[in-house]
Amino acid sequence: MSKPKKPKQTKQVPTKQTPSFKPPTAALATHGPELPKIVTSRIGVENSYTLDTFLNTGGYQGLKKALSMTPEAVSEQVMTASLLGRGGAGFPAGRKWSMLGQSPVKYLVVNGDESEPATFKDRMLVENDPHQLIEGTVITAYAIGAVLAFIYIRGEFALALERLQAALNEAYQHGAVGKSIFGSSVSLDIIVQPGAGAYICGEETALLEALEGKRGFPRIKPPYFPAAVGLYGEPTIVNNVETISNIPWIVKNGGAAFRRLGEGNSTGTRLFALSGHVKRPGNYEIEMAKNSFENIIYDSDLGGGILNDHELKAFIPGGVSSPWFGPEHLGLPLSAEAVGQAGSMLGSGSIVVMDHTTCIVRVAWRITRFFHRESCGQCTPCREGAGWLEKILHRIESGAGKEEDLDLLMDVCDNISPGIIWPPAQTTICPLGPSIPPSIASGIKMFRDEFLIHVKEGGCPISDARHSAEVSRV
C-alpha cells in the first residue's frame, strides 16, 4: 500500500482548556490549511459554549436552512455525505435514518455515554460546543420526524452536563428548540439525561433500557436495530455525539462538500483521541483517509512523536476493543476500509500508543480487567470468561504463570468469540463479549516471547514500583 502524501503546511489552533479537561493537553489541528474544521471550528474560541459566540460564528444557520428544506431533502444530503457513525460501529448515518420504521411516534437519542478507556472526544465537543450538538439534534429530529429527542450524557461529565443544560435553556429562549422553531410549524423538545456510570449503557439497547428507567441490560436480538423497535417500543434513531455534531455543517455546505473530503466510504474529517506514549496527546480533527497513523503519531502539529524519543512498540488503532497494530502498520491510512482490511477497526476513534517500556501482559490484563468489571453479566461467556481471563493474566504478570496459560487464554477467548477472527464472531447478546479477546490475542500473537519471559523469570521483566504495587493490590 502506498504511503499517503503528507500535507505541505499545517495549521495549529490553540485549545482553550476547560477546568476539568486535564490530560490530554495538546492543541487541535486540521492538518492542512485548506481543510475545513467541521466539528471543532469553535474549540479555542472564547466562551465557545455560549449562545452569543455560537450565533457570531454561524450557529443555527444550518437549522434555518434545514427548515427551508423538506425532511427528505435533509436526509438526502446526509446520505450523499456518506457520514459514517462515529460511535464505534461505523454504520452510515443516512442509511440508518432510512431504515426507520413507520409510526406516528419516533424518537431520536444522542449517545454521549463515552465510557470507553482512552476515548475522550465527545466530552470535549459537549463541553465546548453544546449548541452545535443541539443544532444537529434538532435538524436530525426534523429529518427523521422524531417527536422527542434525548441526549444521554455520561453522569461523570459534570461540566458537559452543566454547559449542555445551560445551552439548551438558551436555545429554548432563542426559539431554536421548543414550540414553532424559528416561527415554523416544527416543534421539538429535547431532554438531557445523565447516565449513572456504567460502560454498558453506551451500547444502544442498554442505553434505551436505562432511558426507560430500567437496569442497563443490552436487549436480546432480534429486533436488531432500534430503528425498528427502540425506545418505549417505538422506532428510534441512536446516533453518537460526534455524528450528530457533523450534521449542521453538512446541511449548510451540502453532502457533496463533505464527501469531497476523505476517500471511498471514509468521508469528511474525524476526531481522533490520541493518548499513551506520545509527546502531544489530545483530540485531533483531521481529514479521513488522507492521513496515516504515522502522521497522527509523529507529525509535529499532531502527536509529535513518541514520548522521550522512545521506540514505538505497538498501538491500539480504534479503542480497546480493537486488535493492535505494530510499527509496520504506521503507513496505513486512517480509513475504515484500509484498517478493516488490515484486520482491525477505527472504532471509537481512540488511538493508544505504547513505547518499548510498556509491559504487554500488563496492558492486556488492565483492559481485560475493565471489561470484566463492566460486563453486565447476562451472558455466561462474557461474565465468566472475562473474569477467568483476568485471573490468568494477573497470574502471569505476578509471576505465578505457566506456559500452558497461553493456550488456556486463547481457548477461553475462542469460547467468547469463536475462531478469534476479525470481524469477530459473537456468542453473546452484545458486542462487549467479543471486545474482550482482541487485546489478549494481539498481545500473544505479537509478543509471545514477552509472555514466556514472564513465566520463565517468575514475574514481570519490566516492572517498576508503581506497576508492582498495582498488580499486588488486586
Binding site for ligand SF4 (CB under 6 A): 200, 218, 375-379, 382-383, 428-430, 432-433
- What distances in angstroms separate CA 421 from CA 91, 110, 121, 192, 434, one per listed residue? 20, 31, 28, 38, 10
383 binds, among ligand FMN, ligand SF4, none (CB under 5 to 8 A by kind): ligand SF4
Nearer to ligand SF4, 322 or 398 (CB): 322
- What distances in angstroms separate CA 253 from CA 36, 69, 86, 240, 257, one per listed residue? 11, 14, 20, 21, 6
Q: State the distance between the two ends of the chain, measured CA to CA, in whole angstroms.
A: 44
Residue 127, interface with ligand FMN (CB under 6 A)? no
Q: Which residues contact 148 (CB under 8 A, 6 or more apart)?
A: 107, 108, 188, 189, 190, 191
Residue 210, interface with ligand FMN (CB under 6 A)? no
Evaluate the CA torsion angle 113, 333, 75, 175 in order and state its sign. Answer: positive
375 binds, among ligand SF4, ligand FMN, none (CB under 5 to 8 A by kind): ligand SF4
Among 372, 322, 373, smallest CA distance to 352 is for 322
> Minimum distance from CB of 88 to ligand SF4 (Å)?
14
443 binds, among ligand SF4, ligand FMN, none (CB under 5 to 8 A by kind): none
Nearer to ligand SF4, 279 or 383 (CB): 383
User: Which of 431, 452, 462, 468 touches ligand FMN (CB under 6 A)?
Assistant: 431
Query: Are residues 118 and 364 in contact, defined by beta-carbon separation less than 8 angstroms?
Result: no
> Minimum distance from CB of 155 to ligand FMN (Å)?
12
Residue 7, interface with ligand FMN (CB under 6 A)? no
278 binds, among ligand SF4, ligand FMN, none (CB under 5 to 8 A by kind): none
Cell of 305: 512523536
> Minimum distance from CB of 436 to ligand SF4 (Å)?
8
For 68-81, b/e burial (b = at least 16 CB within 10 A) is ebebeebbbbbbbb
> What's the rounded Cα separation, in Å, for the pair 320 and 330?
18
Tell me how many residues contact ligand FMN (CB under 6 A). Answer: 21
User: Which of 203, 209, 301, 397 touches ligand FMN (CB under 6 A)?
Assistant: 203
Query: Are residues 128 and 172 in contact, defined by beta-carbon separation less than 8 angstroms?
Result: no
At residue 191, the 3 state secondary structure works out as strand
> Minimum distance from CB of 445 to ligand SF4 (Å)?
23
Cell of 267: 468521508
Residue 182, interface with ligand FMN (CB under 6 A)? no
Nearer to ligand SF4, 352 or 379 (CB): 379
> What's the rounded Cα separation, in Å, for the pair 106 and 148?
7
140 binds, among ligand FMN, ligand SF4, none (CB under 5 to 8 A by kind): none
Phi and psi torsions of 184, nearest 5°: -90, -175
User: Which of 78, 100, 354, 430 touches ligand FMN (CB under 6 A)?
Assistant: 430
Query: Are residues 96 and 228 in contact, defined by beta-carbon separation less than 8 angstroms?
Result: no
378 binds, among ligand SF4, ligand FMN, none (CB under 5 to 8 A by kind): ligand SF4
> Minimum distance from CB of 15 to ligand FMN (Å)?
22
Residue 238, interface with ligand FMN (CB under 6 A)? yes
Cell of 449: 516471547
Cβ–Cβ contacts within 10 Å for residue 331, how many?
Answer: 15
> Minimum distance from CB of 130 to ligand SF4 (Å)?
30
Q: In the complex, which residues of this chain contact ligand FMN (CB under 6 A)?
A: 85-89, 91, 111, 113-115, 200, 202-204, 238-240, 243, 430-432
